[in-house]
Chains A and B, each alone.
Chain A
Amino acid sequence: MEQLRQTPSQTVGPFFAYALTAEQYGYPYDSLMNHTLVSLDTPGQRIVVTGQVWDGAGATISDAVVELWQADAQGHYRTAPIEGNTATHTDRGFLGFGRVGTGTLPGHRYQFTTLKPGATGEGSAPHINVMLMMRGSLRNLYTRLYFADEPEANAQDILLNAVPAERRATLLAHRKEVNGEIRYIFDIHMQGSDETVFFEL
């Protein structure tokens, strides 16, 4: 079968914020997604997912965009269409998709409020899909966040086990409780001895 050629990728550049993350950065435009993947009534364990993106010289990256796509607490991805014209739209239910830039928090952190996903099936440990875009990156980068406190499930995960053992730790988020809030820290390293494993889809 004849295949059309894909449209080539280009960098998101430094000036995405007033369109992609306008509310977070205080621009006069609304945002379809933001740091919150859950609505108030979504069942599941509330967690914060946070971290920094590091360049090859050990500096934090201030102009990256991070997107998360994950299943709910039962391991189901959302299938219902996304409706409503702002990220704060109240009847959206569990969105499962979020987007933030790294330019507004101290230390160039990204931070999401979500819930801990359930495993999506046999051979799959709870995980969050992570998409990373930034100035200086000519293509989207896809990686996965797994939970360091799920060693048994992680040992069964087909994708995680396909990663060379010495690099698996780059995909593990570490749990930390801060004032009753459960945080998972997931740093992304572009280069160096801790270089994050990125996947090709």
Chain B
Amino acid sequence: MEALNKTSLPPLAAPVSSADVHPPHLSPAYKSTILRSPTQPLMPVRELIRDLSMPVFGQSVLREFDNDLTKNARINGEPIGERIKVAGRVLDETGRPLSNVLIELWQANSAGRYVHKAEIHDAPLDPNFLGGGRVLTDADGNYAFHTIKPGAYPWGNHYNAWRPNHIHFSVIGHQFEHRLVTQMYFPGDPLFDYDPIFQSVPQHARELLIAKFRMDWTEAEFALAYQFDIVLNGRHKTPFE
């Protein structure tokens, strides 16, 4: 399998807008997009919609171990794998931190296996690991959770297709337009060049999906740490004064 799109964009392509980071709807190397992406252009409606504010989520929606995937599904022991902490901030496009943002997470276990019933990858399930959780940002927009580093897994897109290690994120902010679903990747993954989902993002923006390794955030004798900051679509909101 040849590396995809390695040379498709000039290195100095500057983004024209902060929103110019998203993948196109149709990205044929990711085969499922072919029958599932709109063929008509999306209709811009920012100027026609007054207010789509959403209520925030209060702390009472969380249970004790919702943000600790190493603990929230234990049955008879600790989940197997490399313990990590993932933390970061959620901001709007002006850099304003967003509190009480709901982040929902899901991922494969350390062997690259999802709990999902439709998953057919022949790797072991971990009886002590679900791979689902949730967390809210605090007053300064910070969030943190503990988990097990997910393994890579094969998928059916093409012959010998493998997904890089990743954690799925679903984010609900203060506006309906904040809604974001994305995936966080780990630095230096050799599968980046072969993954059409990661490669669907314009080359200049791919770094935004890769967490930073943070030695200074590691917990000694316990867990390595990664930083993943999230910036939500909020371009027409009044700037913070």
Contacts and interface: CB of A to CB of B under 8 A. Distances in A.
Contact of B118 (A5, A63, A84): A63
Contacts of A59: 35
Nearest to A136: B32
* Interface footprint category on B: 35 or more
B149 interface: no
A5 B36 contact: no
A19 interface: yes
Interface string A18-58: 11101001011110100000000000000000000001110
A9 B24 CA distance: 10
B181 A6 contact: no
Contacts of A174: none
Contact of A18 (B27, B130, B201): B130
Contacts of A175: none
Contacts of B177: 201
Contact of A69 (B48, B117, B176, B231): B176
A83 interface: yes
A97 B37 contact: no
A33 to B, nearest CB: 9
B218 interface: no
A74 interface: no
24 contacts: A4-B94, A6-B233, A7-B182, A7-B230, A8-B182, A8-B208, A15-B168, A19-B105, A19-B131, A19-B170, A29-B130, A30-B63, A32-B102, A32-B104, A79-B55, A83-B58, A136-B35, A137-B37, A138-B22, A139-B22, A139-B23, A162-B48, A167-B40, A190-B36
Interface of B: 15, 17-19, 21-25, 27, 30-40, 42-46, 48-58, 60-63, 73, 91-95, 100, 102, 104-106, 108, 114-119, 130-134, 168, 170, 176-177, 179-183, 197, 200-202, 205-206, 208-209, 229-233, 235, 239
Nearest 6 CB-CB pairings of A with B: A136-B32, A136-B36, A19-B132, A19-B106, A201-B177, A56-B35
